Structure 1
Amino acid sequence: LSIQNDKTIAIGNMNVNAGGDELGPGGKIVKTSSQRVREQAALHTMVPDDLPIQTGSDSLAQDNAIKEAAVTKAEQDAEDRAAAERILAEAEIEAAKQPKRQQKPEGGLAAAVAAETKVEHKAIDPKPAAKKKKGVKRI
């Protein structure tokens, strides 16, 4: 079925047929699917870099010194993180020891909403009201 419809124009505005060929005006094939694939592959090929090869020991010594400095910096960062975690843990313990105080809202709408009010009402029992009604209560 796909081979039979290989040259039919695809639905929509993609300008390709079912085989992947690019179509021009009038439905004529401008580029075949294999040409399109080759062009795409040519755009993304790996190009080797022409960099000089390191031969001197000076550059290696400098690289090693930089690596050692990076290692010591990483160790220092780890120590700083550990110290910060200890300080945070101590602060959390002290915060847990202190009693929490709640502030009451003051003035305006907050005071009106937070004002203590008591509403008294009698509870209505639904059973006596149901007994007074006439008719079928349950089936």
Structure 2
Amino acid sequence: MDRERQEPTFSAPDVTDLQFRSDRVRQISRETRGPPWGYIAAGVVVTILIAMGLIEWNVRRQAAAITAELTRPMTKAEQAKFDADVAKLNREAEAEARAFRRSMEQALDTMPAYAAPNPLRTGERCIGGKRLQRIEGGWRDVPNDPC
């Protein structure tokens, strides 16, 4: 280790050995391909396609989650609540049916008795359950008087 250590010196750099590129080699070639509307339109189309893809993916994900929720079996608490709701609805339906039956029976009780049809008088005919009366030049229907 008898070499001496040489300290760096800060002197003026020797730039004679440096070679700079000429301006001819470094020409910036700029090709204009027309207005940028085509690129802008392509960017808009790509953006719309990406947005549609994300929306479709989200809809499918939500549909899968809903399907999974609807097809899973009910827990005991959910089953008990469901059975109680069904029993309540059945009781309400039976009560409505009884009330309807009662109202129909009352309507039948209060309905006037069917009056026996009056016998045909002279100049009257019965055709198709309708009473017709003879007038000059034809027949006239007698309403509210069945035969």
TM-score by length of 2: 0.32
Higher-Rg structure is: 2
Could you say which structure has the higher strand fraction? 2
Higher relative contact order (CA 8 A, sep 6+): 2
TM-score by length of 1: 0.34
